[in-house]
Structures are given as C-alpha cells and as structure tokens.
C-alpha cells in the first residue's frame, strides 16, 4: 500500500440510484457501480419514496461488494467511508447512512458525511484533473437549480437558486404532460431533436429583485396551458415542437444567468453539474457562451452528471483531508443546505 494514496469507499442513496465507488485521492475513480431503480419507478411515472428505500436495502450490500471487487481492494484498505447524508429522500438517505455507519463502526474506519450537491459539483474534479477552485458552477438536477461560487474546496457561496421547481423537475413534468414518461429529461431531449425550438414562445421567467434566482413552475404551467388551449380549440399540437420550445426556454434561462454571473464576477472557469448537465443542447449553449468570453468550460460526462457515488468520493476526499470526521450520530438530513453541517 502506498502511503500517499487516500482510498475512499463512497456510498450514494439519496434518490433512486443505489451507488458505491472507490476513489483514490479524490480524482482517481477505481470503480463506479450504479444500480438504477428507473425501470421500477417508470411503472408509477416517478420516484415512489417507499419503493426507493426498499430497493436500496435490497441492493446496497451487493453494490458495495461489486465496487470493492472492481477496484480490487478490500474494506480494510479504505481510509474513509464517505456517504451522502442530505439532501434527498429521507428513507433513501437513511439506508446509505446506516450502511456507512455500520461498516465504519465494524472496521474502525473514519466516517465522512457528504452533501449531495457538493458531490455533483465535485464530479468536475474527476473529469478535469487540473480543475481547482475558484470557479462558478451551475448545478442543475431533478431536485436543485443552484448557481454557486466555489471559492475553495468545500467552500461555497450561493449566487442564485430556484424559487420553485428545479429545472430537471420541469423536464420531468413536461415529459409526463406530453406523454413521454419517466425519466423525462432524456426523453424530452430526444423528442426536441425532431422539433422546432422557435415554434412556441414559452416564457422565460425572471425573479424580480433577485436576478440570479430561477423560476420554472410558470414555464411548466405555460406548456400545460398551451396544450389545453389547443385541445379546447380542437387543434392538434406538435409534441416535438413543444419539447424543443420548452427545452430552448430552459436552456435560454440557464444560459442568461450563467452569462450574467461570468460577466459580473469575472471568473475564468465555469462548470456544470447535475443530471440536466447531461443534456446536449444545454452543454453546447453554455460551452459557446464560455468560449465567446474566453472562459474555460467544464462539464462531467453524462455518467458523472446523474447520481453516482464517485462524485461523493471526490467531495468526501476534500472533506476528509480538511479534517472532517462524523460520529455515530450522523443522520439523514433531507433538507440539508449547501455549506451547512
């Protein structure tokens, strides 16, 4: 065993992916096992929390065993166990937290609680080994839309956040409305490729007095109103045009905020994170905006954008080396705020 290697077993179970990963020195991913529950939740059109918890319990041991096996390492070689303890579904989070505590206790390994959004941001450290703070990160997932200034490892200033729905949630709701099913994001993206993004002028909401905040619930309602309006007039609507126009409105809003932050804060590095960052149109729009302003653009590959444990291992590493240790009182915190302990 090399002494300069810090090996972390990371566990993620905040929503509908049961995941475990072994990460060395925060950026070197030795395994990244993800057991997705999507096929089960698809039957219900969205994540059913009780089912998610039960499936995590059924799968977590096997997922951890696989992660260790793939990394060709044993539990005794781990320097720390990192686990997502919030935000997320409380029952789902509890499974990972209880498992991590049990392993840490039984093997006498330090325990490190990780914030899920900090994990999403830290996925960029894996895909871009040269990336170091400070930078701005736009985190766009099913539960969160946060524009964050990363001032140092583990240090965050929130510039803006959604006041209602998250962008990914809007994708999921619109997908359901136009009959594409769950999970909505990738399906809307595929449908949008067949449509005209300028066919329907959906609103791009601004939050008065808080220019960096986001609001997506009005956009979702506008899509539903448009569809109802067509139905009432006996007209048909084009689903691909709706998908493309909706996506253009979300991407446009996200991009406007990103550009405003780049210009105001004068950063030279801008990163994306979260499930929606796997959307090709979104990545391209932000990349173009960065290129035009000589700002270096970062975005993890799709597999590190959606929920995974490797990102928890990356975030956990920086917390671990800064001295964070959690005790047996570590609990799931469904509404945990970024930067809070």
Residues making contact with Zn ion (CB under 5 A) = 141, 307
Q: How far is the CB of 302 from Zn ion (least distance, A)?
A: 13
Q: Which of 99, 118, 172, 241 binds ligand KG4 (CB under 6 A)?
A: 172
Residue 189 in the binding site for ligand KG4 (CB under 6 A): yes
Confirm or reject binding of residue 165 to ligand KG4 (CB under 6 A): no
Q: How far is the CB of 121 from ligand KG4 (least distance, A)?
A: 11
With contacts defined by CB under 6 A, name the span among 72-80, 147-155, 181-189, 328-336 that binds ligand KG4: 181-189
State the nearest-atom distance from the C-beta of 60 to ligand KG4, in Å.
18
Minimum CB distance to ligand KG4, residue 253 (Å):
14
| Residues of span 282-311 touching ligand KG4 by CB under 6 A | 306-307
Min dist CB 77 to ligand KG4, Å, is: 29
Residue among 91, 96, 160, 274 that touches ligand KG4 (CB under 6 A): 274
CB 267 within 8 A of CB 278: no
| Least distance in angstroms from the C-beta of 2 to ligand KG4 | 33
Q: How many residues bind ligand KG4 (CB under 6 A)?
A: 20
Query: Strand 7-12 relative to strand 17-24: parallel, antiparallel, unpaired?
Result: antiparallel
- C-beta of 21 vs 141, nearer to Zn ion: 141
Residues 12-41 that bind ligand KG4 (CB under 6 A): 15
The number of CA neighbours under 13 Å toward the Cβ of 158 is: 16
* Residue 187, both tokens: 């399906």
3-state SS assignment for residue 213: coil
Which candidate, 44, 36, 38, places its Cα nearest to that of 176?
Answer: 44
Confirm if 19 and 62 have CB atoms less than 8 A apart: no
Part of the chain binding ligand KG4 (CB under 6 A), chosen from 63-71, 121-129, 155-163, 272-280: 272-280
Site string for ligand KG4, 134-153 (x = CB under 6 A): -------xxx----------
Shortest reach from residue 122's CB to ligand KG4, in Å: 13
Query: How long a stretch of residues is the chain?
Result: 341
Rounded to the nearest 10°, the torsion over CA 194, 197, 201, 206 is 130
In our burial notation (b when 16+ CB lie closer than 10 A, e otherwise), range 283-321 reads bebbbebbeeeebebbbbeeebbbbbbbbbbbbbbbbbe
Which residues have CB under 8 Å from 329's CB, separation 6+? none
State which residue, 100 or 222, has the beta carbon closest to Zn ion.
100
DSSP state of 274: S
91 contact choice in ligand KG4, Zn ion, none (CB below 5 to 8 Å, kind-dependent): none
Instruction: Give the one residue of 242, 276, 289, 312 binding ligand KG4; rule: CB under 6 A.
Output: 276
* Stretch of 38-46, 70-78, 101-109, 276-284 lying at the interface with ligand KG4 (CB under 6 A): 276-284
**For residue 266, what are the contacts with CB-CB under 8 A and spacing of at least 6?**
none
Q: Least separation, in Å, of the C-beta of 302 and ligand KG4?
A: 7
Catalogue the long-range contacts made by 289-295 (C-beta closer than 8 Å, 24 or more residues apart).
289/255, 289/258, 289/259, 289/262, 290/262, 293/259, 293/262, 293/263, 294/268, 295/262, 295/267, 295/268, 295/269, 295/270
* 235 CB burial (10 A radius; 0-12, 13-18, 19+): exposed
Please tell me the distance from the alpha carbon of residue 85 to that of residue 92, in angstroms, as a whole number: 10
Q: Would you give the DSSP letter of residue 333?
A: -
Closer to ligand KG4 by Cβ: residue 246 or 270: 246
Indicate which single residue of 279, 297, 298, 304 sits in contact with ligand KG4 (rule: CB under 6 A).
279
Answer with the entry of ligand KG4, Zn ion, none that 213 interacts with (C-beta below 5 to 8 A by kind). Answer: none
Residues that bind ligand KG4 (CB under 6 A): 15, 141-143, 168-169, 171-172, 183-186, 189, 274-276, 278-279, 306-307
């Amino acid at each position: 065993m090399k002494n300069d290697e810090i090996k972390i077993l990371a566990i993620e179970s905040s929503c509908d992916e049961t995941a475990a990963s072994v990460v060395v020195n925060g950026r070197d991913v030795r395994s990244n096992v993800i057991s997705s529950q999507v096929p089960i939740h698809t039957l219900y059109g969205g994540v059913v929390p009780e089912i998610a918890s039960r499936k995590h319990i059924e799968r977590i041991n096997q997922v951890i065993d696989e992660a260790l096996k793939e990394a060709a390492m044993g539990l005794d070689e781990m320097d720390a166990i990192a686990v997502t303890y919030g935000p997320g579904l409380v029952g789902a989070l509890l499974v990972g937290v209880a498992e991590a505590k049990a392993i840490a206790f039984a093997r006498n390994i330090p325990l490190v609680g990780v914030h899920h959004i900090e994990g999403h941001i830290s996925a960029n450290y894996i895909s871009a080994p040269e990336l170091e703070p400070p930078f701005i990160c736009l985190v766009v997932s099913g539960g969160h839309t946060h524009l964050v200034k990363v001032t140092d490892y583990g240090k965050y200033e929130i510039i803006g956040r959604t006041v209602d729905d998250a962008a990914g949630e809007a994708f999921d709701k619109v997908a359901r409305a136009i009959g594409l099913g769950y999970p909505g994001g990738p399906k809307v993206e595929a449908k949008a490729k067949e449509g005209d993004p300028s066919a329907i002028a959906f609103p791009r909401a601004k939050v008065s007095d808080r220019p960096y905040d986001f609001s997506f619930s009005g956009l979702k309602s506008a899509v539903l109103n448009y569809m109802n309006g067509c139905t009432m007039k006996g007209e048909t609507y084009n689903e691909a045009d709706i998908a493309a126009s909706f996506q253009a409105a979300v991407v446009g809003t996200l991009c406007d905020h990103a550009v405003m932050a780049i210009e105001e804060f004068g950063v030279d590095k801008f990163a994306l994170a979260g499930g929606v960052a796997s959307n090709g149109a979104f990545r391209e729009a932000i990349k173009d905006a960065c290129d035009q302003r000589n700002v270096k653009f970062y975005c993890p590959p799709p597999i590190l954008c959606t929920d995974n444990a490797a990102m928890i291992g990356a975030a956990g590493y920086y917390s671990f080396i800064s001295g964070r240790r959690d005790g047996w009182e570590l609990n799931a915190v469904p509404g945990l705020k970024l930067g809070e302990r």
